[in-house]
Amino acid sequence: MAKIVVIGGTGLIGTKVVAKLTEHGHEAIAASPNTGVNSLTGEGLAEVLAGADTVVDVSNSPSFAPADVLDFFTTSTRNLLEAEAAAGVTHHVALTIVGINRPQNIPYFAAKTAQEKMIRESAIDFSLVHATQFFEFVGSIADISTAGDVVTLPGALIQPIAAEDVATAVARTAAGDPVGDIEIAGPETFGMDEFARRALAFRGDPRTVVRDDTAPYYGARIEERTLIPVEGAQIFPTTLEEWLPLNPPRG
């Protein structure tokens, strides 16, 4: 039984990772500001990491303002890696995003790229799980692209995945030996506009979704294949049609 500390263990993915690791007999500890552990300030880190074998980082920045998100992922990752080295942790697992190394101009992706670089350059063996967009994200994607009753999104391809499947991949990775980089994705590829259109239609949302390939995604123009995995990604089974009935809009 390994001791596995899950930074961000109270979040969407983290809660599920802790549950899955616990079900499989590991000592999984949810660590976040709500449990007295703050990776940004370092508070509680040394204490929670004492005796830990593995750290899983599925935390997220409370603010997505470009400077805040860059500060969150770099400061937090630096604090974690230092505390892990001091505690003798042998495996650092982080959840990151497919395609952020490709040309685009999204500040959140730049912050995650900086996080990845620090992890690769550290002396601790690592696994970086690169996931595509979560199904759970569909409401936010539509909302930030809405003007009046119209949602305008590019037809750039995505291959979204259920949070439950992401958590399965992260938990399996955390329970195993370090693997370096892996990509995970859902079973279907469609345009970002189609993703939103299907979800809004299912939910009876009156907004119309319009495709405009010049429309921004998180403030930036993305190319058709920026966000989909390269060959060799692990494909998880849950489809959007299976997921939608079980997941009403998040309030």
The residues that touch ligand NAP, with contacts defined as CB under 6 A, are 7-8, 10-14, 32-34, 38-40, 58-60, 62, 95-97, 112, 131, 133-134, 137
Minimal distance, residue 148 CB to ligand NAP, in Å: 26
Complex with ligand NAP: residue 208 or 249, whichever CB lies closer: 249
Integer CA distances (angstroms), 29 to 2, 35, 145, in order: 11, 10, 37
Q: Which residue lies nearer to ligand NAP by CB, 43 or 213?
A: 43
Shortest CB 111 distance to ligand NAP, Å:
9
**Residue 14 or 139: which CB sits closer to ligand NAP?**
14
- Asked if 54 and 93 touch (Cβ cutoff 8 Å), the reply is yes
Closest residue by beta carbon to ligand NAP:
11
Quick one: 52 or 97, whose CB is closer to ligand NAP? 97
What phi and psi, each to the nearest 5 degrees, are found at residue 248? -60, 160
CB 200 within 8 A of CB 209: yes
Phi-psi sector, 44: left (phi>0), alpha (psi -120 to 50), beta: left
In angstroms and rounded to an integer, the radius of gyration of the C-alpha atoms of the chain is: 18
- Quote the least distance from Cβ 91 to ligand NAP, whole Å: 17
For the bound state, the minimum distance from the C-beta of residue 117 to ligand NAP, rounded and expressed in Å, comes to 15
